[in-house]
Structure 1
Amino acid sequence: MSNTVAVSPVRVAVVQFDPQVGIHHQPKNLENSLHLAQEAVTNRANLIVLPELANTGYLFASRQDAYLHAESIPEGPSTQAWIDFAAHHQVYLVAGLAERDGMQLFDTAVLLGPDGFIGKYRKAHLWHREKLWFTPGNLGFPVFETPIGRIGLMICWDIWFPEVPRLLTQQGADIICSLNNWVWTPPPLFDEAGKCMASYLTMTAAHVNNVFIAAANRIGEEQGERYLGCSLIAGTHGWPIGEVAPADSQTIIYADIDLSTARSAPIWNSLNDLQRDRRTDLYDEMLGYRQHPCLPR
């Protein structure tokens, strides 16, 4: 934090752990998520971010298997447990799960706070076999107003689409919580600094949009698939605040930030300003996006 008084001080925690697929693993996955969230609270975090599909694991055997892992939101048992946790500790919690809505399934992130359920985001860009069981998200890219600031959500493969963080920040997001199951990508998987490509995409998105991004990934192996770790919290300047998590360790990364600083104009010199320099005469300011309730229809 700077020496000035913080307007919206937040201690962010991104949780990196190893949820395993399988109905018999679900109680343990949920227990682990709550145990690690409790550790974050003990270390004074008040915004806690869990990975994508934190209560189920990732590699479902079939659509029917995914359906059996899924639950309704907010009535489902995992969401209710996370709601109770956030209310009891008076914190904000973001978590990923498989959502069942009628016969449709969604890869969903929920935002919960001291007063209960705040909102959800359904993953817009589906990766690989996710397309065989999940429906692409239909809620757009919402930004949620909270007492600590404006919070946007995105999930994993979304970071490869620069439109997502751009649209979230154009709607005023102070921080984007990125929930991930980043898998091994074409080699090299890591550079000499230990970062993966998703690390750099996260840093770049934070840099070019003047926004904080808290990215929680998972670790471990599942049915032969390996996950990359590399969770991080990127500052508005793009660089990680503190460390980037290793590839194979359960850990929690923390950052003390003032969310209000994301609202300052990113003027780097007397002639360049990121927002002012956008050529909205050549492309639409919101890239054609019209789902935010504050925008005219």
Structure 2
Amino acid sequence: MTVEEDQGFSHLVVAAVQMAPRVGHTADNVARSVALIEQAATQGASIVVLPELANSGYVFASRAEAFALAEPVPDGPSTQAWAEVARRCNVHVVAGIAEREGDRLYNAAVVLGPRGWLGTYRKLHLWGDEHLFFEPGNKGLPVFHTELGRLGVLICYDGWFPETYRLLAMQGADIVCMPTNWVPMPHQPTDRPAMATTLAMASAHSNGLNIVCADRTGTERGQPFVGQSLIVGARGWPLAGPASIDSEEILCARIDLRASRQARHLNVFNDVLRDRRDDIYDPMLGTGWPLPPH
């Protein structure tokens, strides 16, 4: 389904794919993800988000293993397989991938449309052992302009930093696609949803952004993942999910882009972007204050 025009409002269906990649089983992981993308497309989705490192798995034993499982973008086999299913199903796909550029590795996400590769986002904030394998992202926070709206991308731990969402919103993003591999947080109450879901809801509300969080499930080399994939609307309330902790699922939700862009207007007086005190900090979050002497 592409954007529908219905009485002046633009509607589209987004999907978060929750799956369980297995480290080292790249061909199987990609084949399973392609099948799930196809299923999401049959449910009307025009944007499909896959988990973080959906092709390679997450818990690497060594940098040599990570390097062997990483691929060039956009010419590697995983990106090419996702590009083909995006073309065939007429969808946009955002998929987490272990990217290799020369001798550098990045925890990245490729953005693909029916006409091919649109660009790559590289995770800015590395978590835990990722520091042993990956370089911090060096492509900033791009916004991809598509016929379906303006797409931003974040990966997992990036969502702990409110600046990332704010900078995407300031660039006009409509939807933030988040491939993620959420792990249990210390002191997380067992009877409460994952902290990551709360952060996504708060960030959506405070920036007027739709956020599509596609998490993985399962336990890999002793590391459990929490599932609970989620699609949050621009007013901060869940549109679909949270998903289960331990099952593959496809969450779908309909987004009204016109209404989403109006969500930043909280009332006749207040707008979450307009009300920013840019006399204190500049619109793109720099303070403008002199650095302290070294």
Q: Say whether the fold is shared (TM-score over 0.5).
A: yes
Q: Percent identity?
A: 50
How far residue 184 of structure 1 moved from its aligned partner, in angstroms, is: 1.2
Q: Name the structure 2 match of 1:8.
A: 10
Partner of 1:237: 235
Aligned AA (1:21): V
Per-residue deviation, 1:264: 2.0
Measure how far apart 1:8 and its partner are: 2.8
> Which consecutive unaligned segments of at least 5 residues does structure 2 have?
288-294
Shifted more, 264-273 versus 239-248: the winner is: 264-273
**Which runs of 4 or more aligned residues in structure 1 lie more than 4 Å from their structure 2 counterparts after TM superposition?**
none
How far, CA to CA, are the matches of 1:131 and 1:8 in structure 2?
A: 41
Partner residue, 1:84: 84
* Contact 1:176/1:211 (8 A) holds in 2: yes
Aligned to 1:147: 147
Establish whether residue 199 from structure 1 lines up as the match of residue 197 from structure 2.
yes
State the partner residue of 2:281: 283
The answer for unaligned runs of 5 or more in structure 1 is: 290-297
Aligned residues: 283
Question: 1:212·1:234 contact (CA, 8 Å) conserved in 2?
Answer: yes
**Which residue does 2:249 correspond to in 1?**
251
Q: Report the counterpart of residue 122 of structure 1 in structure 2.
A: 122
Partner in structure 2 of residue 185 of structure 1: 185
Shift of 1:115: 0.6
Maintained 8 Å contact 2:152/2:176: yes
Deviation of 1:249 (Å): 1.1
CA distance in 2, matches of 1:118, 1:7: 25
For residue 241 of structure 1, give the secondary structure of its aligned residue in structure 2.
strand
CA distance in structure 2 between the partners assigned to 1:268 and 1:4 by the alignment: 24
- For the 8 Å contact 2:170–2:273, the answer to whether it is kept is no
TM-score by length of 2: 0.93
C-alpha RMSD over aligned residues = 1.5
- Residues 1:108 and 1:85: Cα distance change in structure 2 (over 3 Å): same
1:176 & 1:126 partners in 2: Cα distance?
Answer: 18
The Cα shift of 1:265 comes to 5.8
Q: What does residue 50 of structure 1 align with?
A: 50
After superposition, residues 30-41 of structure 1 pair within 5 angstroms as: 30-41=30-41
- Is the 1:6–1:258 Cα contact (8 Å) retained in structure 2? no
